[in-house]
């Protein structure tokens, strides 16, 4: 009898599915330096030929209407811009620089040519801002809304690439910028959408939320941080961009590096508007910082000997350190109590 059992994708979750796919993949080409499992793949076109020190990093991200964005409050130009930033951020998370991008788009006949122009205007604005060339892609029709698939290609010296798996016990855990703003911007947008549905005559109340709305609708990739690393003569031991939430992404580093981690609640960097808005929504700001996602800040580890390079910097905050694997994943609260750190951020395959 054939096996008719069925396993729901939600039982694995997004990262469980990635692990399953990864287990079946075997790299056979010497030029494939790093495959599935990091922010981007690493390809060495000169592998076996000698002489060339630059490698390529390649990353792909898909945005699906109704899953990743809601066009009732996301302008198409902002969507195009953000779609690029999501991919650029993955390249920067490898300590590399994006150079080219391709765009695949599936679109239904409810969109006009003018709408497509707006979408691509946002994409091209991002390309111009970050010095990236849009070099190709594909278009097709869709019967289920708008779908964007972006592939970014970047370059770096092979010795400069930073992976998720390079952290060492005792390394300091550092984050750029502040956290939770994008998540709270989303809460404001969702609230105003609900109000509008109840009464279309009510104008949206967005006054005072400019910062967190921009964090959600028009995020920026931390190109400046990569430049700072060069100026500071600092190379992280491991790095990832914060797209799924700090807790989820730090666990990627810990698990890939076969280590534990300890994060301190009172060290989490948050903007005052993020904190006050969280309180207005009766949400715990710490939970928003840990699990909100879409901040696109860089999370990285450094050797303790490099602490002086980031000490006092307004751009970086040390939020914890890596521990031995047996110590597990811990969040230390403001009273000194320890709690298990769990990944509760974005997972595209879990049932909502």
- Residue 176 sits in a domain of what CATH number? 3.90.650.10
- Choose the final residue of a domain: 107, 136, 159: 159
The predicted pLDDT at position 336 comes to 94
Which of the four pLDDT bands, split at 50, 70 and 90, describes residue 256? Answer: very high
Answer yes or no: do 142 and 172 share one domain.
Answer: no
Q: Are strands 54-64 and 147-157 parallel, antiparallel or unpaired?
A: antiparallel
Answer yes or no: do 168 and 209 share one domain.
Answer: yes
Answer yes or no: do 85 and 190 share one domain.
Answer: no
Is the distance from CB of 295 to CB of 242 less than 8 angstroms? yes
In the chain, how many domains are there? Answer: 2
In a domain, 10, yes or no: no
In a domain, 76, yes or no: yes
- Choose the final residue of a domain: 141, 159, 177: 159
Burial 257-290 (b: 16+ CB within 10 A, else e): bebbbbbbbeebbbbebbbebbeeeebebbebbb
Mean pLDDT score of the chain, rounded to an integer? 89
Burial 82-112 (b: 16+ CB within 10 A, else e): bbbbbbbbbbbbbbbbbbbbbbbbbbeeebe
In a domain, 1, yes or no: no
Answer yes or no: do 276 and 211 share one domain.
Answer: yes
Which of the four pLDDT bands, split at 50, 70 and 90, describes residue 352? Answer: very low
Which of the four pLDDT bands, split at 50, 70 and 90, describes residue 349? Answer: very low
- How far is C-alpha 37 from the geometric centre of its chain's CA atoms? 14
What is the DSSP code string of 22-37? HHH-----TTEEE-BT
Answer yes or no: do 202 and 300 share one domain.
Answer: yes
> Model's pTM, two decimal places?
0.87
Q: At residue 62, does pLDDT exceed 80? A: yes
Which of the four pLDDT bands, split at 50, 70 and 90, describes residue 9? Answer: low
Answer yes or no: do 186 and 144 share one domain.
Answer: no
CB neighbour list of residue 164: distance below 8 Å, 6 or more residues apart: 37, 38, 39, 238, 239, 240, 252, 253, 256, 257
Answer yes or no: do 150 and 176 share one domain.
Answer: no
Q: What are phi and psi of 227, to 5 degrees?
A: -65, -40
- Tokens 């798996």, residue located: 165
Q: At residue 241, does pLDDT exceed 70? A: yes
Answer yes or no: do 194 and 307 share one domain.
Answer: yes
Task: Give 120-129 pLDDT, tens digit per residue.
Answer: 899 989 999 9
Using DSSP's 3-state secondary structure scheme, residue 166 falls into: helix
Is the distance from CB of 311 to CB of 174 less than 8 angstroms? no
Q: What is the CATH number of the domain that holds 69?
A: 3.30.1330.10
Q: At residue 153, does pLDDT exceed 60? A: yes
Which residue did the predictor score with more confidence, 224 or 203?
Answer: 224
Answer yes or no: do 78 and 177 share one domain.
Answer: no
Burial 311-337 (b: 16+ CB within 10 A, else e): eeeeebbbbbbbbeeeeebbbbeeeee
Q: Which domain holds residue 321?
A: 164-340
Average pLDDT (164-171) is 97
Which of the four pLDDT bands, split at 50, 70 and 90, describes residue 46? Answer: low
Which residue did the predictor score with more confidence, 119 or 38?
Answer: 119
Task: Give 217-236 pLDDT, tens digit per residue.
Answer: 999 999 999 999 999 999 99
């Amino acid at each position: 009898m054939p096996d008719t059992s069925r396993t729901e994708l939600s039982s694995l979750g997004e990262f469980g599915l990635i692990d399953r796919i990864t287990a079946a993949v075997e790299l056979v080409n010497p030029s494939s330096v790093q495959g599935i499992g990091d922010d981007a793949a690493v390809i060495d076109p000169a592998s076996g030929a000698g002489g060339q020190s630059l490698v390529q990093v390649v990353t792909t991200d898909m945005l699906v209407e109704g899953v990743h964005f809601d066009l009732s409050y996301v302008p198409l130009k902002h969507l195009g811009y953000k779609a690029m930033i999501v991919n650029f951020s993955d390249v920067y998370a490898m300590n590399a620089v994006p150079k080219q991008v391709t765009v695949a788009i599936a679109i239904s006949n409810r969109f006009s040519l003018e709408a497509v122009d707006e979408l691509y205007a946002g994409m091209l604005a991002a390309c111009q801002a970050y010095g990236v060339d849009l070099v190709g892609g594909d278009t097709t029709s869709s019967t289920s809304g708008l779908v964007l698939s972006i592939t970014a290609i970047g370059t770096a010296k092979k010795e400069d690439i930073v992976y998720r798996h390079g952290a060492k016990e005792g390394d300091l855990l550092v984050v750029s910028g502040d956290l939770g703003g994008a998540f709270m911007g989303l809460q404001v947008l969702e609230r105003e959408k609900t109000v509008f549905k109840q009464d279309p005559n009510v104008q949206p109340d967005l006054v005072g939320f400019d910062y967190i709305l921009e964090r959600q609708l028009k995020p920026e990739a931390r190109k400046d941080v990569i430049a700072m690393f060069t100026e500071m003569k600092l190379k992280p031991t491991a790095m990832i961009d914060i797209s799924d939430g700090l807790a989820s992404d730090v666990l990627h580093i810990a698990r890939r590096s076969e280590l534990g981690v300890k994060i301190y609640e009172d060290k989490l960097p948050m903007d005052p508007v993020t904190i006050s808005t969280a309180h207005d929504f009766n949400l715990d700001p710490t939970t928003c910082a840990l699990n909100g996602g879409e901040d696109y800040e860089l999370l990285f580890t450094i050797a303790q000997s490099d602490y002086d390079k980031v000490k006092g910097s307004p751009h970086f905050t040390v939020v914890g350190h890596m521990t031995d694997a047996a110590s597990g994943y811990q969040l230390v609260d403001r009273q000194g109590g320890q709690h298990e750190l769990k990944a509760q951020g974005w997972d595209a395959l879990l049932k909502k």
